[in-house]
Amino acid sequence: MPGLEFFGNEERKEVNDVLETGILMRYGFDGPRKGIWKAKEMEAAICKTFGSKHAHLLSSGTAALTTAMAALGIGYGDEIILPSFTFVASFEAVISVGAIPVFVDVDDTLTLDPAAVRKAITPKTKCIMPVHMCGSMADLDALQAICKEHNLLLLEDACQSIGGSYKGKKLGTIGDAGTFSFDFVKTITCAEGGVVMTNNADVHTKCDGYTDHGHDHLGVDRGADLHPFVGYNFRISELHAAVGLAQIQKLDTFLSIQNKNHTALKNILSTVPEISFRRIPDEAGDSKTFLSWFLPTAEITQAVVAELKAQGILAGNFYWFDNNWHYVRKWDHLKNSITLNALSPEHKAAVIHHANKDFAPSDAIMSRCISTAIGLLWTEEQVKTKGEQIVAIVRKVITSV
């Protein structure tokens, strides 16, 4: 992934700017910081790069989701529809604001199945949260139509799809709000960080206060700020923002190399008739962080995964069906609602109910899917070797069944 693969003098320069002033906090200390405002600079760069009117940086993608939900007024008793295939942070954020995660099936886009979304809507539904997994996007036309029909919010979890787009608009900027993660293995890294993007000025103002103990940030004296509402500490530091500021300048380079390596690998795997590929609602908008591919049956897929492991080349090839971070099947802590802070009995029962539903349609898709992470430092020869190794293993397994 590019965030950890491309780190150099550009990041060091931005970080050193902060270290030379000694002001590591994003707010206050106006004089000593000598005009160095890395978080503000990165927020401006995000707006320019992705086309959002407003952007607010914070400490993580998880914090970004939590903050966006709070700013959108999502809370106690509200239901949020999200996919059975996502990262655990998605449902953690939902639970943290007192809402109920309502999981529904994914289709062959590996994102929300619009038909399943429609069936899951109840009078308590407040928001639909598509998660643009593995670099590509959900069917946003269909989901926007559902939101309009039922007067629902659309919150995009675009943490895994930085740089992707849908019909000319950048992912994360299409809904009422959208989020990116800038953790160590994302397309752009701050080491740790995230952002809420929105075109709604009121939502942005609420995000700004919510992430800094409710400060209104309206005066020149931070200590005299008023507190219109209760907030929390989800601030990003200037050091983290400095790293991200250097990284965002490299995004076009990341995406170009990703596209080249993704295309080359897909061309090799396409020589096997039994391999099919994820459906992309807008091919031109795929950020191509992963190449996601399917085999005919779960048994063949599991045999291929076992052979990849036996040959020592499983790394970088993800079988989400058995992954306990990304697919509902392995979320035992959620299915049993094991939390350190006690949930209300009603909230706990709802979480358990929705996490333990039958996801047979998702199982049928995810059990046949392998996603290969696209490296930016791969040489042409390495791409060729990786592709040929996968092809040889698939053919070996298929001929043996």
Catalytic positions, written as ranges: 186
Give the torsion sign (CA, 381, 387, 391, 392).
positive
Report the C-alpha gap between 78 and 61 in whole angstroms: 21
Residue 211 three-state SS: coil
Do the Cβ atoms of 325 and 87 come closer than 8 Å?
yes
Report the 10 Å Cβ neighbour count for 345.
8
Residues β-bridged to residue 292:
371
Give the DSSP per-residue string, 15-45: HHHHHHHT--BSSS-TTTTTT--HHHHHHHH
Do the Cβ atoms of 157 and 130 come closer than 8 Å?
yes
Structure tokens at 242: 């400095």
Structure tokens at 33: 């910081």
What are residue 146's phi and psi, to 5 degrees?
A: -65, -45
What are residue 208's phi and psi, to 5 degrees?
A: -60, -45
Give the DSSP per-residue string, 235-251: PPBHHHHHHHHHHHTTH
